[in-house]
Amino acid sequence: MLKKFDQETSEGILFTDQYQLVMAQLYFKLGLHEKKAQFDHFFRNYPDYGSHKAGYCINAGLEWFIDWMMNSSFMKKDIEYMHNHKTQNGEKLFHTDFLNWLLKDGNFGSVHIKAVHEGRVVHPNTPITTVLGSLAIAQILETSLLNQLNFQTLIATKASRIKETGKGQPLIDFGLRRAQDRAANAGARAALIGGADFTSNVGISYLLGYPPKGTHAHSLVQVFLASGSTEEDAFTAFADLYPDDCILLVDTIDTLNSGIPNAIKVFEKLKKKGHRPAGIRLDSGDLAYLSIMAAKMLDKAGFDDVKIVLSNELDELNILQIITQLTYEAPKHNVDPDKLIKRLIYGVGTKLITSSGDGALGGVYKLVGMEADGTWKPAIKISESNEKIPNPGRKCLWRLYDQNNKATADLLTLEDEEIPAGWLNKTQGKIMLHHSWDHTKTRILQTSDCKEIEQLQVDVIKDGKIVYDFPSIEEMRKKRDSELERLDPGVKRLINPHLYHVSISQKLWELKQELIKSIKG
């Protein structure tokens, strides 16, 4: 008999790493557990797709993470699991007094969270999410926060790149069958935020308010062939049942000599009945060449408005290659390449939902300050690699826009700095911007070039209560579109993008160097 899967426990507050709990118990034993602490969540590098590293990321996952957080606390069942946890010597790993504290106070009710809106462009070494709360609870929060925000940001970024490469043509997530188990749901949501118009995932589509999209499989045609019928019979049966949503997969037998001719016959029948055929799908072979031939055949038959869905291991580079090939080859066959490109729909599966090329976003969660001796003190971690030394203290994250309304830099300042507001409307003046970790790199920004300054993080939770209106998927999409419109084309470039400037203020730089010096002696 199969053991019942305890989803409530596995996905509840114990959806964390072991070391978070053992550290929390140590803090409790030392009387540090309720000291206020601040952690910053950020990533150090853009996703790397080999020869084509991304130049930006799209933030995603916040609403689902907050929903998890607000509905998670230590229950009696969780405490029982921990109570029965033994060390290698057979002793109890977690002590009764600590477990009693978790049962009484082990929730996220006092946590304060600031974050960047979902759908916004984000860059390395800038705090996407900031957590301020009691040390033990904020520590326990780390794993689930990273799990949920890193993954959705990764997939939203991949979807955005694919959408941009496809020149805005419809993009459908076909990845459910290839995803990492239930991560398919989070991935589908992130894909919708990042650029996908629809997903084939029925359950998440209904949950999010979008109609699921799909066609049919090769097995449909195979069933008819096995029973002594024909490909045309299979197409006819499908069209009879779905006359207004008829997209036919045409490559089960022979795309050009069987599939498309049979699809055209069925489309003619639909047309006579007053229905409008929706499209065909190409799932194998040279998709660029077959698209050209399909368009030529469909146009000749009077179906120049029928869509052509492309699938089969697509990603941004494959789509770029297809569009390039269409632009060059279509005129040779008397097919208008621009018109053809505008009738394409991309069904992208494996390489979207798994973010093929870089399967994880290296987001981290670092302590940057805490309460000690009755005062607030910034905290820092020293590393042999300068880029791994986080920016300490309570900070503000700003985005600077130039006179062309393009984002020119993201800037971190200390929370009490007032300089950003004074930069605007100055005809003369200079601002020194430091690279976030490389002391050899600075940038001088003329204040006359700074047209707009925007603070990126907003309060999401204060005093345990949500103080934020979560936007809809559609609003996040619009935000993404407007963000990319204000991003320099070089930064959005698919291969070897320009490096976007992420800087820290003079005061933050000085604080960082002071803390490094004090620790190193």
Helix boundaries (H) for 284-372: 287-300, 316-329, 337-341, 350-353
**pLDDT computed for residue 2 by the predictor:** 53
User: Rounded to a whole number, what is the distance in angstroms from the first to the last CA of the chain?
Assistant: 62
Q: What confidence score (pLDDT) does residue 51 get?
A: 62
- Check residue 4 and give its pLDDT: 55
Range of the domain at 310: 214-348
Q: What is the pLDDT of residue 12?
A: 86
pLDDT of residue 441: 86
* Inside any domain, residue 12: no
What pLDDT is attached to residue 463? 86
> What residue type is assigned to position 472 of the chain?
S
Helix axis angle, 76-83 relative to 96-105, nearest 10°?
160
Whether 29 maps to a domain, the answer reads no
C-beta of residue 184 within 8 angstroms of C-beta of residue 190: no
Residue 324 lies in a domain: yes
- 50 within a domain of the structure (yes/no): no
**pTM of the predicted model as reported, rounded to 2 decimal places:** 0.95
Specify if 41 maps to a domain.
Answer: no
Cα–Cα dist 174/517, whole Å: 52
Beta bridge partners of residue 466, listed in sequence order = 461
The CATH number given to whatever domain includes residue 265 is 3.20.20.70
Count: domains in the chain: 1
Which of 203, 141, 128 shows the shortest CA–CA distance to 14? 141
Query: Which pLDDT does position 387 carry in this prediction?
Result: 85
| Distance (Å, whole) CA 362 – CA 125 | 11
CA-to-CA distance for 74 and 104, rounded, in angstroms? 8
Cβ–Cβ under 8 Å, residues 121 and 57: yes
In a domain, 124, yes or no: no
**Is 126 contained in some domain?**
no
Total residues belonging to the chain: 521
302 within some domain: yes
Cα radius of gyration (the chain): 27
Q: 260-272 and 231-241 are packed helices; what angle lies between their axes, rounded to 10 degrees?
A: 40
10-residue mean pLDDT profile of the chain (521 residues): values are 61 92 97 96 90 90 96 93 92 95 89 97 97 96 97 97 95 95 95 98 96 96 97 98 97 98 98 97 97 98 97 95 97 97 97 91 96 91 86 95 92 83 60 82 80 93 94 96 96 92 92 90 68
Q: Do β-strands 363-372 and 375-378 pair in parallel, antiparallel, or remain unpaired? A: antiparallel
